[in-house]
Structure 1
Amino acid sequence: MKNFQLKYIDLSLLLLRLTFASLMFLNHGWPKVLDFEEKFHSFPDPIGVGSEISYALTIFGEVFCPVLVAIGLFTRYASIPIIITMGVAIFIIHGADPLAKKEMALLYLVPFLVLLISGPGKLSLDSKLKV
């Protein structure tokens, strides 16, 4: 019975990784890549590092890291920039806004926090490569 339950946990982690990483990439990251020229110099600078660096960090957290999470490679490490990006959105960008404005970032933060804690499961490249 225990192996049966563990397989479902691994399948659940795969589903969590694929769903949230793909949604982050497709709905938030990829549009930023497509609008790179337009937004590069005018992106918000919530942490005071400059608009260009903020944009680059956001693209890293919303494009490259979700791809790594989706395939399950360096999953725990790749979750950290995503969590930081969502934390900045929640606490700085939307800090004074009502909960409804923070909701999307919260809904992304939680699954990546779960993956940071749990790891990607056995259905991942991390498991195969023993990372």
Structure 2
Amino acid sequence: MNASGWDERARDLGLLFLRVSGGLFLLWVHGLPKLLHYSTEVQNIEDPFHLGANLTLILAIFAEVLCPLLIVAGVLVRLACLPILFLLLVALVVVHPQWSLFEGQFGWLLLIVFTSILIAGPGRLALNDRFAGVLRYA
């Protein structure tokens, strides 16, 4: 195998690792607790846009459960990054503007991970690559 073939495989493996680890981490740490403890979470969730606690929590669950699952699978990856990035920016800039970089480091790191995925795309080891046409560039 020549060097460029190795580089392409390494890039695709790196993107796969980034997608799977970032997606599962967000799902495990934030998404599943919200989904599994809905009644507790709905009482504690911040509602910065006054949409109501239920709708705000449903939107957070969408961004932290469904979107990471799509990213892990490699389906509509770039599109699935957008709700996550919006949620992270709202949390860091609107809901918790008083947080120092130290206090918000987890959120900022997730922002870096999902922005990187948005920019780089899913790589060739994604279900997107198995479909032609419309999913290919999502």
TM-score (norm 2): 0.90
Alignment match, 1:29 = 31
Alignment match, 1:71 = 73
Alignment match, 1:15 = 17
Secondary structure at 1:39 match in 2: helix
Tell me how far apart the structure 2 counterparts of residues 74 and 48 of structure 1 sit (CA, whole Å): 29
Cα RMSD of the aligned pairs, angstroms, is 1.1
Moved more, 42-51 or 91-100: 42-51
CA drift of 1:55 comes to: 0.7
Q: Choose which of 81, 86, 91 in structure 1 pairs with 2:83.
A: 81
Secondary structure at 1:91 match in 2: helix
Tell me how far apart the structure 1 counterparts of residues 75 and 63 of structure 2 sit (CA, whole Å): 15
Contact kept? 1:44, 1:51, Cα under 8 Å: yes
What residue ranges of structure 2 are gaps of 5+ in the alignment? none
CA drift of 1:39 comes to: 2.3
Tell me how far apart the structure 2 counterparts of residues 56 and 101 of structure 1 sit (CA, whole Å): 25
Contact kept? 1:94, 1:101, Cα under 8 Å: no
Secondary structure at 2:104 match in 1: helix
CA drift of 1:38 comes to: 2.1
Tell me how far apart the structure 2 counterparts of residues 101 and 57 of structure 1 sit (CA, whole Å): 24
Secondary structure at 2:90 match in 1: helix
Q: Choose which of 86, 90, 115 in structure 1 pairs with 2:117.
A: 115
Paired residue total:
131
Alignment match, 2:49 = 47
Contact kept? 1:89, 1:102, Cα under 8 Å: no
Tell me how far apart the structure 1 counterparts of residues 88 and 44 of structure 2 sit (CA, whole Å): 20
CA drift of 1:48 comes to: 2.4
Secondary structure at 1:48 match in 2: coil
Q: Deviations over 1:7-52 (max 9, x none)?
A: 1000000000010100100111000111102222442102222211
Identical aligned residues as a percent: 31
Q: Deviations over 1:64-102 (max 9, x none)?
A: 100000010100000111111111111112112211121
